[in-house]
Structure 1
Amino acid sequence: MSWFKIKVKNNGINMNRIITLIYLVFISSLIFIGCSELEDNITTVSNPGIHGEGVMNLNSPNFHGNYFDKWKFSDCQNCHARNFQGGLTPVNCADANCHPALNIHQDSSGVFNQSSSNFHGRYLQTNSFTDCQQCHGENLAGGLSSPSCATCHSAISVHKTGIIEPASPNFHGKNPLSGEFVNCQSCHGENFTGGISSPSCATCHSAISIHKIGIIDPSSPNFHGKYPLPNGFTDCQQCHGQNFAGGNLSPTCITCHSSIIVHKSGISDPASPNFHGKNPLTGEFENCQQCHGANFTGGSISPSCATCHTAISVHKSGINDPSSANFHGKYLANNNWNLPNCSQCHGPTYSGGTQSPTCLTCHSQPGGPEACNTCHGNFNDPTRIAPPQDLNSNTVTTAKGVGAHEKHLYTNVFGKTVECETCHTVPQSLNSVGHLDGNLPAEVDFNGLAIFNIAGNANYNSSNVTCANTYCHGNFEFLKESAGMYGSVNGQFAYSAPKMEGNKRSVIWNKVDGSEAQCGSCHGLPPTGHVDFGGLSTCTNCHFGIVNAQGQIIDKSKHINGVKNVFGY
C-alpha cells in the first residue's frame, strides 16, 4: 500500500486525493451490497426504465403498476428486496402510503397455502380489502394488471365499502352467488364462523350454517329442513326476502315451497292478514308436509300443526278416497266424529272458511257434513239416515248397529214407519249432549208408540240383542168396558172376553233373514179376546181400507199406530 504515499501533482491536480476518493467509493459499495438483503442469484433488471418519469402516476404509461402483466414480484425483489422494504434501493414498496399488504406476496408459494404463515387470508385478520384493492382493483378483478382474485373467489367482488349496509349498492346481500355458498366458505369457513381470518357470518345470520353442501338434500345432515330456527323464519327472510321470493339476489324458496309465503309475522293470528288460514294452498297439503311432516306432527324440526289442529293428520294422500286408509271419514269415525276441528279451516258452515276447499261439494245434503247420513245410513241418499251403514261401517243385518233398522224405517210392510225418536233420543244438533259424547253402541231410549198403552216396561237387552214388552210387538191390552162408539155401533160387540190383548213378543233385533216372526205373531188372527167372525178374510169388514180380503195391510199408516181404526173411525 506504499504507493498511496506517492505524491503526484499534474497540472495542479492532486492525483493522490483522487485515487483515495475512488478507493473509498469502492469500499463503500462492497459494504452496502454485503449488508443488503439481496439473494445470491441477483439477475439483471431487464427494463429499469419503468423508474423514470411518471412511475408513480396512475395516468402515466410509465406507471409501475402497468408492468405486472410482464413481470413477477421476483423482478421487483431484485432491487426492492425480498420483503419489498428497500434492498438495493432505499424505496420501501410496503410503505403504509403505498402497498401495506405487499409483504404477504414475498413467498409466492406461501401466499396461497393456508398452512403457511404468509397465507394471504391471514393478512385480512388485521387489515381490510382496501389494501388488496390498490393492486387488484376496486372490484378485485385484477386492477391494471394484477391477478384477478375472482380466479379463486368468484364472490370476492361483494367485499367493497358498504358490504354490510343494506342501503348501499355494495351490500353483500345484493351480490349474486354462484356455486352456492362454497365461495363464501373459502374464506368464512365451512360453518361460516370465520374460517382462518374472515369475520363470522353468524354474527348477523344465525341460520347461515345450514347453507352447506346438501342443503336441499333431505337425506343430508346439512338439509335445511333439519336446522332449528331460533328466530322462526326471520332468519331466512334476512336473505330470502320478506315474502321468501328471493330478496335482493338469494334463491326464491317458492321454487320448492309454494306455500312458504304464509310464514310471516302474524301467521298464527286469525286477525292478521298474514294468518296462515288465509293463504291459498295449491297441491293440497303436500306443501305443508314438506316441512311439517307427512302426519303434520313436525317433520324434522318444524312445529307440529296438531298443536292447534288435532284433525290435521287426516289430510294425506287418499283423503277423499273411501278405500284409502287415509280417507277422512275413517279418521273422523276413529275420533268420535269431531267435526268442530274441521270447521277451524273449512268454516262454521263448512263452505270453505277463508281459503280451504268447501266440504259442501260432496256433502251437498242439508246440514252438510253434520247431516245424519254423513256418519250412518246411506251417504248418497239424505232420506236414508238409518243404517246400513252403521257407525262402524257395517252393512250386514247381523251387525248390531245395522239389525232391523231398514225394516222399521224403510221397508216395513206391516205398519206405520217407525220414527228414529221411537227408540232413540234424537239430538237437536251434532254436538247435543248425549250424541257424540257417549260410547258405542248407540243408546236405546224407547218413546212414543214403543211404550204406548201398557208398554211402559219396554226394554232393550244389548247382550242378547232383543226388544221386549214394546207396544209394536204385541204388548197391548184393550178393555171391553172402555170400548167406544163407532158411529152408532158400540165397540163391545167385538169382544169375546173382558179384554183384547197381544202376544207380547220378544224379538231378536239383528235377525232379519226371513225366519223372523211374521204377520200374526204379534197378535192372534183374531187377537185373544176378539170375536172370530170367520177368519182372516173377514177382517176387512170392520177394518176396511186398512186390510184386504187376503189379510194384507193396504194402508200402513193405520196399522200399529195406537188406534183401532174400526168402521173408518
Structure 2
Amino acid sequence: MKQLLLPLLGMSLLLLNACSDPQEAPTAAQNEVDVHGEGWRDPTSPNFHGKVLAAQSYDAKSCRPCHGSQFDGGLAESSCRKCHVTYPHPPGWVNASSPNFHGETLAGVNYNLNLCNSCHGNQFDGGTSGVSCRSCHATYPHLAGWVNPTAAEFHGKALAAQNYDATACQACHGAQYDGGTSGVSCKGCHATYPHPQGWVNASSPSFHGETLAGTNYDLNLCSSCHGSQFDGGTSGVSCRTCHATYPHLADWMNPAAAAFHGKALAAQNYDATACQACHGAQYDGGSSGVSCKGCHASYPHPQNWIAGAASHYTFLKSNSYDLNSCQICHGQDYALVKVNNSCLTCHTQQNGPEACNTCHGNPAASAADLKNSAPPKGLDDETEATTPAVGAHQAHLGYFTQLTTAAVCQECHAVPTSFALPNHIDDNTRAEAVFVGPLGARQTEGGARVPQVVYDFNTNTCSNSYCHGNWALRKAQSPNDFGFAAEVMTGSNAAPSWVNSGSAPCGSCHGLPPTGHTPFALTACTICHQGVVDGFGNITDRTKHINGKVNVLGLEYDMY
C-alpha cells in the first residue's frame, strides 16, 4: 500500500507545481504558423501562401473550410480581405451577369487597379499569379501612358496596331462606347470614335453622314485619325475609299485654288454622281443638308434633265430662260462637251438653244424659216388657237404673204435681234404687244387719223388698228369722188378676238360697202375693185387687201 501511495503523491506534487506556474496562450500568429507553416506570409519564403496557391493554379477551395466560402473570416475569424480586397475571387468573378463580376467590383472602387497588380503584375501580364489580364481583354487594364499621345503605349497606337478594331473596348466601354460597365465614355475625348454600329449604313441613325450633319460637318473630328487630307492618317483608312471628293479639301470653294471643286469635277468630265451620296439624287441637300443649287442653280443636273418633270426646259422656264447658267459650263456657243454631251447634241438648229423655235413655235422645223417660230406651240406647250399663246398667229402669217415673216411679226412685236435682250428674256413670260408696224399703225385721212393700237390682255381683243378698220378717206382728196356718198368714208374700227377665229368675218372691219361709200350691192364690188374681189364678195388677191393702198379700176395708190 505504501508503495502505491508514494508514486501518486509525486504525481500530485507535479500537477500542483504546474498549476501554480501559469503559461501564456499561443498568439494568432503562432496558431497560423502552426497551421500553415513558417513563411506563409513572407513573399520571399518558398512557403509563401501566394506561391503555394500558384502551384495549385490558384485553387483556393482548401482555404474555405477555415476562412469561409467568401474568404471573409469563417471559423478562423481571419479574413483574406484584410490584405487583398478582391482575392480570392468570389463566384461569378468572370461572369458579366453576376453581381460579383470583377468589372462591377472595379467600378465600385473607381477602377483602382492597385488591387489587381499585386497578383497580376505591374503590367497585368501575369505577375505572381501567372494569370494575365490580357487573356480576356488585350488592352485592359490600360498601361501607363495609355492616354499620352507621345507614349509608346498610347491607346491610339495600340488600336492602330490592331487595325483600329475597337471591339475589345466594348466589353468595358459599352457597345456604343458611351460608358458601359466602366462608366467612362470614349466620346469624352473623341466624339465620333470608336465608331458606333451602323456608322457606314446610310439607313442607320448612327450613320456617319448624320453624325457629321449634327456637328455642321466639323471635319476636325475626322482628321485626327484619317489625316488632314482624309487619305488615311494614323488610321490607315482613307475616306476617299467610298467618296472620292469628300471630305472636301481646303479651298474646295475657292475658284483660284487647285483644289477648287469645279476643277475636280472638270477632271472627271463633270460626272457628279459621287456628289449624290451626300447632296441627294437631285443635289438639293440630301443627308448633307447643303444644296449645290445655292451657288449654281442648274448644276449638277438632276435626273431627267433632258426630258421630264425636272427637265432643263422646265428649269429654264422657271428661271426666265436665263441661258447664262448653261454657258458657264458649255461655253458661249454651247458647244463644249460635258459628261458626253453639249447643248448642240440636241439643239442642232442655227443658234443652237437660242433659236427662236426652241421655246415657241415648231422646234422640229427649220429655224431659218421664221414662220416656224410662231406658235403653236406656246411657251407652256399650248397648241390650241383658243389659247392666247397660240391665238391667230398662223392666221396672220398665212394671210400677209406679200410681207416677209419678220415684217408680219414686227406689226405686233418688237422682234429681238438677239436672245437676251430686255423685254424678251425677263420675268414675264407673256409676250409684249408693241404695235410699231407700217400697217397696224398706218395713218390715213390726210394724216389726221393716227391709230393707237391696243391689245387688251383681259379680253384678248385687238382694237384701233388700221388692219381692222381704223381708217378714213376724204372725198376732197380722192381722184374717185364718185364713190363717195359723204365727205369722209370710214372703216368700222372693229375689235376682233385674238382667240376666236370667227370674230372677224368679211364686213366686220368695214361695211359692205363702207360707211360714206356710194351704196352698191356686194355683187357689184368687183366692177370697180376687179382683181381684188369676185362677184360673191370673196377676196381673190390678198396682196391687194389690207395693204395700205386703194385699188380702183385697176389702179393702185396709197391711202390718203
Length-normalised TM-score, structure 2? 0.62
Q: Secondary structure of 2:462's partner?
A: strand
Question: Aligned residue for 1:86?
Answer: none
Q: CA deviation at 1:222?
A: 1.8
Q: Which residue of 2 aligns with 1:56?
A: none
Identity among equivalent positions (%) equals 30
Q: Which residue of 2 aligns with 1:264?
A: 249
Q: Deviations over 1:299-341 (max 9, x none)?
A: 45533444434556x94432322xx322332244345445555
TM superposition shift of 1:216: 3.2
Structure 1 pair 339–134 and aligned structure 2 pair: CA distance change class (3 A): same
In structure 2, relative to structure 1, the CA distance for the partners of 1:567 and 1:463 (3 Å cut) is closer
Pair 1:511-2:496 in alignment: no
Cα 1:405–1:33 change in 2 (3 A) is farther
Which residue is 1:408 aligned to? 396
Is 1:534–2:518 an aligned residue pair? no
- The CA deviation string for residues 163-195 of structure 1, in whole angstroms up to 9 with x for no partner, is 87599897357445477x544433444443454
Question: Secondary structure of the residue that 1:460 maps to in structure 2?
Answer: strand
Alignment of 1:411-430 (within 5 A): 412-413=400-401, 415-417=403-405, 418-426=407-415
The residue number in structure 2 matching 1:448 is 437
Which residue among 464, 475, 480 is the counterpart of 1:469?
464
- CA distance in 2 between partners of 1:132 and 1:371 (Å): 87
Cα distance in 2 for residues equivalent to 1:285 and 1:365: 28
How many residues are matched? 473
Output the CA distance in 1 between the equivalents of 2:324 and 2:148: 50
Q: Distance in 1 between matches of 2:345 and 2:280?
A: 28
Q: What residue is the counterpart of 2:375 in the other structure?
A: 387
Q: Tell me, yes or no, if the aligned pair for 1:105 and 1:111 is still in contact at 8 Å.
A: no
CA distance in 1, matches of 2:528, 2:121: 122
Q: In structure 1, what is the Cα distance between the partners aligned to 2:121 and 2:341?
A: 60
User: 1:292 is matched with which residue?
Assistant: 279
Letter in 2 for 1:399: T
CA distance, structure 2, for counterparts of residue 116 and residue 307 of structure 1 = 60
CA contact under 8 A between 1:416 and 1:560: conserved in structure 2? no
Change (3 A) 1:395 1:550: closer
Q: Which amino acid aligns with 1:171?
A: K
**Secondary structure of residue in 2 paired with 1:208:** coil
Q: Would you say the 8 A contact 1:387–1:401 is kept in 2?
A: yes
Asked whether the equivalents of residues 253 and 260 of structure 1 are also in contact (C-alpha less than 8 Å), the reply is: yes
**Is residue 2:90 matched to residue 1:110?**
no
Q: 1:237 aligns with which of 199, 203, 223?
A: 223
Which residue type is aligned with residue 196 of structure 2?
A: K
CA deviations 1:315-371 (Å, max 9, x no partner) are: 4432322xx322332244345445555666666665669989644433444555455
The secondary structure found in structure 1 opposite 2:373 is: coil
CA distance in 1, matches of 2:35, 2:386: 116
The residue number in structure 1 matching 2:79 is none
> Aligned equivalents of 1:337 and 1:243: distance in 2?
40
In 2, are the aligned partners of 1:526 and 1:536 still within 8 Å (CA)?
A: no
CA distance in 1, matches of 2:550, 2:38: 134
Q: Which runs of 5+ in 2 are unaligned?
A: 1-9, 15-25, 41-45, 69-83, 445-449, 519-523
Distance 1:265 1:356 in 2: 29
Letter in structure 2 aligned against 1:303: V
Partner of 1:487: none
Gaps of 5+ in 1: 7-24, 40-50, 52-63, 83-101, 484-491, 541-548
Relative to structure 1, the CA distance from residue 319 to residue 124 in structure 2 (aligned partners, 3 Å threshold; closer, same or farther) is farther
In 1, distance between residues paired with 2:29 and 2:361?
A: 118
- Structure 2 contact 469–492 (Cα < 8 Å) conserved: yes
CA distance in 2, matches of 1:533, 1:378: 39
What are the equivalent positions in structure 2 for 1:70-89 lying under 5 Å apart? Answer: 72-74=57-59
The worse-fitting range, judged by mean Cα deviation, of 456-465 and 411-420 is: 411-420
**CA distance, structure 2, for counterparts of residue 157 and residue 441 of structure 1:** 78
For residues 151 and 339 of structure 2, the distance between their equivalents in structure 1, rounded to whole angstroms, comes to: 37
On the 8 A contact 1:297/1:306 being kept in 2, the answer is yes
Deviations 1:57-114 (A, max 9, x none): xxxxxxx9xxx9x973449999xx99xxxxxxxxxxxxxxxxxxx9978528525648
- Does residue 318 (structure 1) correspond to residue 304 (structure 2)? The answer is yes
1:221 aligned residue: 205
Provide the residue aligned with 1:276 in structure 2.
261
Say if 1:539 and 1:433 are closer, same or farther in 2 by CA, change over 3 A: closer
Q: Do 2:229 and 2:249's aligned partners in 1 also have CA atoms closer than 8 Å?
A: yes
Q: Give the Cα separation in 2 of the matches to 1:355 and 1:105.
A: 72
2:345 match: 361
For the Cα contact (< 8 Å) 1:254–1:260, is it kept in 2?
A: yes
Counterpart CA distance in 2 for 1:165 and 1:221 is 31
Distance 1:224 1:31, change over 3 A: closer
Task: Confirm or deny: 8 A CA contact 2:124 2:134 kept in the other structure.
Answer: no
Superposition TM-score, scaled by structure 1 size: 0.61
Q: Give the Cα–Cα distance (whole angstroms) in 1 for the partners of residues 398 and 237 of structure 2.
A: 64
Offset, 1:378: 2.9
Residue deviations 1:460-493 (CA, integer Å, cap 9, x gap): 122322212323344445667778xxxxxxxx47
Change (3 A) 1:248 1:34: same
Residue 376 in structure 1 maps to residue 371 in structure 2: no
CA contact (8 A) 1:347 1:353 kept: no
